Protein backbone atom coordinates (compact mmCIF):
# COMPACT_ATOMS: atom_id res chain seq x y z
CA UNK A 1 0.00 0.00 0.00
CA UNK A 2 1.39 3.40 -0.95
CA UNK A 3 2.07 5.95 1.75
CA UNK A 4 0.23 9.26 1.73
CA UNK A 5 3.46 10.98 0.59
CA UNK A 6 3.87 8.53 -2.29
CA UNK A 7 0.28 9.12 -3.38
CA UNK A 8 0.74 12.90 -3.39
CA UNK A 9 4.05 12.69 -5.24
CA UNK A 10 2.35 10.61 -7.91
CA UNK A 11 -0.53 13.01 -8.31
CA UNK A 12 1.95 15.88 -8.57
CA UNK A 13 3.40 14.44 -11.75
CA UNK A 14 1.88 13.71 -15.15
CA UNK A 15 -1.69 13.27 -13.89
CA UNK A 16 -1.95 16.99 -13.21
CA UNK A 17 -2.28 17.55 -16.94
CA UNK A 18 -4.95 14.89 -17.44
CA UNK A 19 -7.04 14.78 -14.26
CA UNK A 20 -9.46 11.87 -13.94
CA UNK A 21 -12.69 12.46 -12.12
CA UNK A 22 -14.70 10.25 -9.86
CA UNK A 23 -17.49 8.12 -11.25
CA UNK A 24 -20.98 9.60 -11.36
CA UNK A 25 -22.83 9.53 -8.04
CA UNK A 26 -26.51 9.69 -7.18
CA UNK A 27 -25.93 12.40 -4.60
CA UNK A 28 -23.02 14.66 -3.62
CA UNK A 29 -22.89 16.75 -0.46
CA UNK A 30 -20.20 19.12 0.80
CA UNK A 31 -19.16 19.68 4.39
CA UNK A 32 -19.86 23.38 4.94
CA UNK A 33 -18.93 23.49 8.63
CA UNK A 34 -17.47 21.08 11.16
CA UNK A 35 -16.90 21.26 14.91
CA UNK A 36 -14.56 18.54 16.12
CA UNK A 37 -12.92 17.68 19.43
CA UNK A 38 -10.78 14.91 20.92
CA UNK A 39 -12.03 12.87 23.87
CA UNK A 40 -10.53 10.18 26.06
CA UNK A 41 -12.28 7.20 27.60
CA UNK A 42 -10.27 4.57 29.45
CA UNK A 43 -7.11 5.43 27.59
CA UNK A 44 -8.82 5.27 24.19
CA UNK A 45 -8.84 8.56 22.32
CA UNK A 46 -11.59 9.48 19.93
CA UNK A 47 -12.54 12.18 17.49
CA UNK A 48 -16.09 13.49 17.83
CA UNK A 49 -17.47 15.89 15.25
CA UNK A 50 -20.66 17.64 14.18
CA UNK A 51 -20.92 18.76 10.56
CA UNK A 52 -23.41 20.63 8.38
CA UNK A 53 -23.58 19.62 4.72
CA UNK A 54 -25.36 20.73 1.58
CA UNK A 55 -25.45 19.37 -1.94
CA UNK A 56 -27.73 17.68 -4.43
CA UNK A 57 -29.40 14.39 -5.29
CA UNK A 58 -30.58 13.16 -8.67
CA UNK A 59 -34.29 13.18 -9.42
CA UNK A 60 -35.68 9.66 -9.07
CA UNK A 61 -33.62 8.79 -6.00
CA UNK A 62 -35.39 8.17 -2.66
CA UNK A 63 -34.53 11.62 -1.30
CA UNK A 64 -35.48 13.36 -4.56
CA UNK A 65 -38.62 11.59 -5.85
CA UNK A 66 -40.14 12.52 -9.18
CA UNK A 67 -43.15 14.15 -7.55
CA UNK A 68 -40.85 16.91 -6.30
CA UNK A 69 -39.91 17.94 -9.84
CA UNK A 70 -42.68 20.51 -10.07
CA UNK A 71 -41.23 22.23 -6.98
CA UNK A 72 -37.70 22.20 -8.29
CA UNK A 73 -36.86 24.63 -11.12
CA UNK A 74 -33.74 22.66 -12.05
CA UNK A 75 -35.89 19.57 -12.73
CA UNK A 76 -32.98 17.11 -12.84
CA UNK A 77 -31.90 17.27 -9.19
CA UNK A 78 -32.89 18.38 -5.71
CA UNK A 79 -31.01 20.38 -3.10
CA UNK A 80 -30.27 18.38 0.03
CA UNK A 81 -28.99 19.50 3.43
CA UNK A 82 -27.80 17.36 6.33
CA UNK A 83 -26.47 17.59 9.86
CA UNK A 84 -24.26 14.68 10.88
CA UNK A 85 -22.41 13.43 13.93
CA UNK A 86 -19.54 10.95 14.03
CA UNK A 87 -17.56 9.31 16.79
CA UNK A 88 -14.28 7.92 15.44
CA UNK A 89 -11.66 5.95 17.34
CA UNK A 90 -8.12 7.24 16.80
CA UNK A 91 -6.91 3.64 17.12
CA UNK A 92 -9.02 2.04 14.38
CA UNK A 93 -10.14 5.16 12.52
CA UNK A 94 -13.68 3.78 12.60
CA UNK A 95 -16.93 4.49 14.39
CA UNK A 96 -20.64 5.28 14.05
CA UNK A 97 -22.18 8.12 12.10
CA UNK A 98 -25.73 9.45 12.34
CA UNK A 99 -27.81 12.53 11.67
CA UNK A 100 -30.74 14.13 9.90
CA UNK A 101 -31.29 15.24 6.33
CA UNK A 102 -33.77 17.41 4.43
CA UNK A 103 -34.70 18.03 0.81
CA UNK A 104 -35.29 21.75 0.25
CA UNK A 105 -36.59 24.04 -2.50
CA UNK A 106 -36.75 27.80 -2.96
CA UNK A 107 -39.02 29.67 -0.57
CA UNK A 108 -39.35 33.44 -0.36
CA UNK A 109 -36.07 34.50 -1.97
CA UNK A 110 -35.07 33.14 -5.37
CA UNK A 111 -31.58 34.61 -5.07
CA UNK A 112 -30.25 32.84 -1.98
CA UNK A 113 -30.03 29.11 -1.43
CA UNK A 114 -33.13 26.86 -1.16
CA UNK A 115 -34.61 26.62 2.34
CA UNK A 116 -38.22 25.42 2.15
CA UNK A 117 -38.31 21.86 3.53
CA UNK A 118 -40.33 19.36 1.50
CA UNK A 119 -38.89 16.06 2.74
CA UNK A 120 -36.97 15.05 5.88
CA UNK A 121 -35.48 11.97 7.46
CA UNK A 122 -32.66 10.42 9.46
CA UNK A 123 -29.58 8.37 8.61
CA UNK A 124 -26.95 6.22 10.30
CA UNK A 125 -24.04 3.97 9.40
CA UNK A 126 -20.39 3.15 10.02
CA UNK A 127 -17.62 5.55 9.06
CA UNK A 128 -14.04 4.56 8.24
CA UNK A 129 -11.45 7.35 8.24
CA UNK A 130 -8.46 5.07 8.79
CA UNK A 131 -6.79 5.99 5.48
CA UNK A 132 -7.08 9.72 6.12
CA UNK A 133 -6.13 9.62 9.81
CA UNK A 134 -3.23 7.29 9.01
CA UNK A 135 -1.94 9.72 6.32
CA UNK A 136 -2.28 6.99 3.69
CA UNK A 137 -4.81 8.65 1.38
CA UNK A 138 -7.28 11.57 1.69
CA UNK A 139 -10.32 9.28 1.59
CA UNK A 140 -13.01 8.01 3.93
CA UNK A 141 -15.95 5.63 3.63
CA UNK A 142 -19.43 5.01 5.01
CA UNK A 143 -20.67 1.42 5.05
CA UNK A 144 -23.83 -0.22 6.41
CA UNK A 145 -25.58 3.06 5.75
CA UNK A 146 -29.35 3.25 6.19
CA UNK A 147 -31.79 6.15 6.09
CA UNK A 148 -35.48 6.69 6.59
CA UNK A 149 -38.03 9.24 5.43
CA UNK A 150 -40.09 10.81 8.17
CA UNK A 151 -43.62 9.38 8.17
CA UNK A 152 -42.59 6.16 6.45
CA UNK A 153 -41.53 2.77 7.81
CA UNK A 154 -39.35 1.99 4.79
CA UNK A 155 -35.59 1.80 5.40
CA UNK A 156 -33.25 2.50 2.51
CA UNK A 157 -29.58 1.59 2.21
CA UNK A 158 -26.66 3.67 0.98
CA UNK A 159 -22.88 3.76 0.77
CA UNK A 160 -20.71 6.85 0.86
CA UNK A 161 -17.22 8.06 0.10
CA UNK A 162 -15.45 11.13 1.51
CA UNK A 163 -12.85 12.90 -0.60
CA UNK A 164 -10.74 15.25 1.51
CA UNK A 165 -9.17 18.17 -0.37
CA UNK A 166 -5.40 18.48 -0.44
CA UNK A 167 -2.77 20.77 -1.95
CA UNK A 168 0.41 19.86 -3.78
CA UNK A 169 3.58 21.69 -2.89
CA UNK A 170 7.03 20.62 -4.16
CA UNK A 171 5.81 17.05 -4.65
CA UNK A 172 4.40 16.82 -1.14
CA UNK A 173 1.14 17.51 0.57
CA UNK A 174 0.91 21.22 1.36
CA UNK A 175 -1.30 23.40 3.48
CA UNK A 176 -4.52 24.61 1.92
CA UNK A 177 -5.73 28.18 1.90
CA UNK A 178 -8.13 30.22 -0.18
CA UNK A 179 -5.51 31.09 -2.80
CA UNK A 180 -3.88 27.72 -3.56
CA UNK A 181 -5.23 25.14 -5.99
CA UNK A 182 -6.70 22.15 -4.18
CA UNK A 183 -7.43 18.64 -5.39
CA UNK A 184 -9.48 15.54 -4.64
CA UNK A 185 -8.11 12.04 -5.12
CA UNK A 186 -9.98 10.03 -7.76
CA UNK A 187 -10.62 6.30 -7.58
CA UNK A 188 -7.74 5.58 -9.97
CA UNK A 189 -5.27 7.48 -7.78
CA UNK A 190 -5.16 10.62 -9.93
CA UNK A 191 -6.10 14.11 -8.77
CA UNK A 192 -8.89 16.32 -10.00
CA UNK A 193 -9.15 19.97 -9.12
CA UNK A 194 -11.60 21.36 -6.61
CA UNK A 195 -13.97 23.63 -8.54
CA UNK A 196 -14.88 27.16 -7.50
CA UNK A 197 -18.36 25.98 -6.52
CA UNK A 198 -16.78 23.33 -4.27
CA UNK A 199 -15.48 26.01 -1.90
CA UNK A 200 -17.08 28.01 0.92
CA UNK A 201 -15.65 31.43 1.77
CA UNK A 202 -12.64 30.42 -0.26
CA UNK A 203 -11.93 27.15 1.54
CA UNK A 204 -12.11 23.84 -0.40
CA UNK A 205 -14.75 21.52 1.04
CA UNK A 206 -14.77 17.87 1.99
CA UNK A 207 -16.82 16.10 -0.69
CA UNK A 208 -19.21 13.29 0.28
CA UNK A 209 -20.45 11.08 -2.56
CA UNK A 210 -23.51 8.89 -1.99
CA UNK A 211 -24.90 5.91 -3.84
CA UNK A 212 -28.25 4.35 -2.94
CA UNK A 213 -28.80 0.58 -2.90
The per-residue pLDDT for range 80-89, each reduced to its tens digit, is: 999 999 999 9
Ranges of the chain with pLDDT below 70: 1-24, 42-44, 69-74, 169-180
Q: Which residues pair with 95 in a beta bridge?
A: 127
pLDDT tens profile 162-179: 999 998 865 455 555 555
What is the reported pLDDT for 66? 85
C-alpha atoms less than 13 angstroms from C-alpha of 14 in its C-beta half-sphere? 0
pLDDT at residue 28 in the model: 97
Whether residue 11 contacts residue 185, with contact meaning beta carbons closer than 8 Å, is answered with: yes
Per-residue pLDDT at 170: 56
Cα gap 10→20, rounded to integer Å:
13
Q: What is the pLDDT of residue 109?
A: 78
Q: What does the alpha-carbon distance between residue 79 and residue 97 come to, in Å, rounded to a whole number? A: 21
Amino acid sequence: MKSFRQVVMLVACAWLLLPARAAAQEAVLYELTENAKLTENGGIYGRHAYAALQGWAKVGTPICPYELMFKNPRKYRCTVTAVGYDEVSLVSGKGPISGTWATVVQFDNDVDGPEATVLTGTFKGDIDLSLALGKVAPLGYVTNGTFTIDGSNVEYRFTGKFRLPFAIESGRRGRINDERDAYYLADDGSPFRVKKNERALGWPLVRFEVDFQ
